[in-house]
Amino acid sequence: MGKHFKNFTTVTYIPAKTAEELTPERLASDYAFIEKYIGLDKVYLESHRGGCDVKKEQLSMIRSFLEEKGVEVSGAITTTIDDFEGAETGKRRLFNTFCYTDPAMRARLKEISEFAASMFNEIILDDFYFTNCTCERCIKAKGDRDWVSFRRELMTDVSKNLIVGPAKAVNPRVKMIIKYPNWRESFHFDGYLPGTQGDIFDATYIGTETRSPAYADQHLPEYLSYSLVRFMENAWPGRCGGGWFDTYQCWSVDRYLEQAYLTAFAKAKELMHFMWSDLVDNPFVCAMGLQLGKIDKIIDGVGIPTGIPTYIPHEACGENHLEMRLGMLGLPIEPTPVFPENEERILLTETAAGDPDVISKLKGYVEKGGDAVITTGFLQAAGEGLRAAGLTEAWLTGRKYSVTRYGITGDFAGYIDNRTPILFPEIVHGNNASWSLLNGGDGDLHTPLVLRSTYGKGRIYIISVPENAANLYRVPGAATDVYRRVLAGRGTGTYASGRDTSLFAYDDGSMILYRYVKGNNHPTRVVLHTRQQVQALRDTVSGRTIPARQVVLREDFETVTEYIAEVILQPGTISSFVWEGQQL
């Protein structure tokens, strides 16, 4: 793929202000450092940001230098603008994004796009291509519409008539790329339209910055660096160019490196190390250089990423990032904006209720034999429709249980008592109309945490999400395994039991395991489970094999057999495995 690595291209970005200030001497020095540590295949060179417009001669100097080094150079634009003569002033524009109803700003944006297209055959828009303007002109243009509807129409017009259309008129060969940020749950509030902009732009890119989740401005579980690449690949098949991460709010080298690991595990074509000046003389980059070759070797030859299909429709939000938290409980997740009607088992979080037709889709899916796992957030948002369709009799009362005891039904795990209290919503259901596989309670009361019912040829499982979704990590392991078994289903897939661990699965049977660097930075035991009849688990890096052990469980009133193997994972270390001796 790239000239330095087989499975991805290494990329960085030069913002306009940096480009404006680069002298030939500094350019050569900076390049030498970046090339030494991460290897440089491609650069996106920005011509406009804020109040900075880089002159053609300066852009040409930088491009010529890099191309002589064998580096591919594409263009870039950040759609922010300082106040300028002719534009209306006094607008409260967060981050100085454009007001797309202001005639002077619209004209200026068209000029910016045309200039970039005159210089480059490929242009990426940095992720400030959104609108938050609520000036008097925008309020008047909105009229009686809500902001989401207004901005959908406005940004469709801007994309066609001010960005892509003018660029292609100047340079018919130009490829226009829109980079979406890492806050997917809020796209529709700010005019980002991946569901419709795919018909306008040639390709897309996605932000995979997760930084330090407990303190970052957005709510960004580490798994986002993987799942957002997968989401965009499923949204725009074959046209997701890469993942984009940075050094900001990464208060350890491991936190920085994890962004790159997960972006690569998702099979992103390009790894964007943002940005040029932040890389130079940065010890994080030295560590990255050590790891990129290891990543490339581990993902070399693995298949297409696969996982539990999770329906995330465009322009919807709710239980935001919950599927990513499940991905950090050893469950491979595959988010998609297309309802996965042909899959054996699917996951619907509250976000899925944003599809107005989701009840009819769900009913048809389960009736034909599919197994659907829905969260309590989905039950809350769509419960009336679910009950009207006859899919469940269960409902949420609005009361909460402070769960200190877990009761597992159907297998031999028994009871787990005297645990730290976790708040769960109370589910009420019809006894024997549905059946609880896991209860949570305190005193002599309890509520279902995992509930199963049937419809047609299929089944519906309801899984309860704590009031604070991060408390999923604090649920006892044996109880969490009930969630894992329900979500993994009865197919040939694998899930992993263990804290702060992700399992990345591929359609050729390859698996990558990663243990996150968090508070308990010590080795931990992780158990891999499969319902394939296997003999051993092989470490593809060391070649070591671990015998598989057979375990018999009682589940859904049936006897089921799992095969398990135990591994020890070091925090921050990547491992790769395959099962051996499968009898499919």
Indicate whether 400 pLDDT > 70. yes
Q: Which CATH superfamily is domain 9-300 in?
A: Glycosidases (3.20.20.80)
Of 212-216, 244-248, 395-399, 561-565, which range is least confident? Answer: 212-216
Q: What mean pLDDT comes out for the span 382-396?
A: 96
CATH 3.40.50.1390 fits 306-488, yes or no: no
Q: How far apart are CA 516 and CA 573, in angstroms?
A: 8
Those residues whose C-beta lies under 8 Å from the C-beta of residue 186, and which sit 6 or more positions away, are 317
Exposed, middle or buried by CB within 10 Å (0-12, 13-18, 19+), for 555?
A: middle
For residue 93, the model assigns a pLDDT of 82
User: How would you list the strands of the sheet with 494-497, edge to edge?
Assistant: 494-497, 524-530, 558-569, 549-555
CA distance 74 to 66: 11
Sign for the pseudo-dihedral over CA of 411, 413, 416, 421: negative
**Torsion-angle region of residue 285: left (phi > 0), alpha (psi -120 to 50) or beta?**
alpha
Neighbours of 468 (CB within 10 A): 10
The predicted structure's pLDDT at residue 556 = 66
The identity of residue 333, as a single letter, is I
**Helix, strand or coil, per DSSP, at residue 487:** helix
Q: What percentage of the chain has pLDDT greater than the value 90?
A: 88
- Per domain, the residue ranges of the chain are 9-300, 306-488, 495-580
What digits encode the pLDDT tens for the residues 229-254? 999 999 999 999 999 999 999 989 99
Average pLDDT over residues 121-127: 97
Element (H, E) at 323: helix 322-327
Q: To the nearest whole percent, how much of the chain has pLDDT over 70?
A: 98
- pLDDT given for residue 219 in this prediction: 78
- Mean pLDDT calculated for residue range 578-584: 77
In this structure, are residues 317 and 215 in contact, taking their beta carbons and an 8 Å threshold?
no
Contact 365, 372 (CB under 8 A): yes
**What's the average model confidence in pLDDT over 536-549?**
94
Token pair 């329906």 is found at: 311
Say how many C-beta atoms besides its own lie within 10 A of residue 521's C-beta. Answer: 15
Per the prediction, the chain carries an average pLDDT of 94
Q: Which residue in 492, 574, 572 sits closest to 529, CA to CA? A: 492
Per residue in 6-30, pLDDT (tens digit) is 999 999 999 999 999 999 999 999 9
With 90 as the cut, is the pLDDT of residue 579 above it?
yes
Residues recorded for the chain: 584
**Which comes out higher in pLDDT, residue 584 or 534?**
534
**Which pLDDT band holds residue 192 (cuts at 50, 70, 90)?**
very high
pLDDT tens per residue across span 454-508: 999 999 999 999 999 999 999 999 999 999 999 998 777 899 998 899 999 999 9
- Alpha carbon separation from 109 to 10, 105, 338 (Å, rounded): 29, 6, 33
Q: Are the C-beta atoms of 561 and 550 separated by less than 8 Å?
A: yes
pLDDT band at 280 (very low <50, low <70, confident <90, very high): very high
pLDDT score at 559: 80
Q: Where are the alpha helices (DSSP H) in 87-144?
A: 103-119, 136-142
Q: Is the pLDDT of residue 583 over 60?
A: no
Q: Are strands 415-416 and 435-442 parallel, antiparallel or unpaired?
A: unpaired
Alpha helices in 336-455 (DSSP H): 358-367, 376-388
Q: What is the dihedral of CA 293, 296, 301, 305, to 10 degrees?
A: 150
The pLDDT of 271-298, averaged and rounded, is: 96
pLDDT at residue 582, as a whole number: 67
Residue type for 418, please?
Answer: N
Query: What is the pLDDT at residue 490?
Result: 76
- Give the tens place of pLDDT for each residue, 411-448: 555 788 989 999 999 999 999 999 999 999 999 999 99
Give the pLDDT score at 415.
Answer: 86
CATH T-level assignment (fold) for domain 495-580: Immunoglobulin-like (2.60.40)
Of 195, 170, 186, give the one whose Cα is nearest residue 178. 195
3-state secondary structure of 377: helix
CA–CA dist 376, 397 (Å, integer): 11
Q: What is the pLDDT of residue 491?
A: 74
- Express each pLDDT in 27-38 by its tens digit: 999 999 999 999
Q: CA-based angle 349:350:356, to the nearest 5?
A: 110
**What is the model's pLDDT at position 164?**
98
pLDDT bucket at 301, cuts 50 / 70 / 90 = confident
- Whether residue 584 is predicted with pLDDT greater than 80 in this model: the reply is no
> pLDDT tens across 142-179, in order?
999 999 999 999 999 999 999 999 999 999 999 999 99
Indicate the angle between helix axes 358-367 and 376-388, nearest 10 degrees: 80
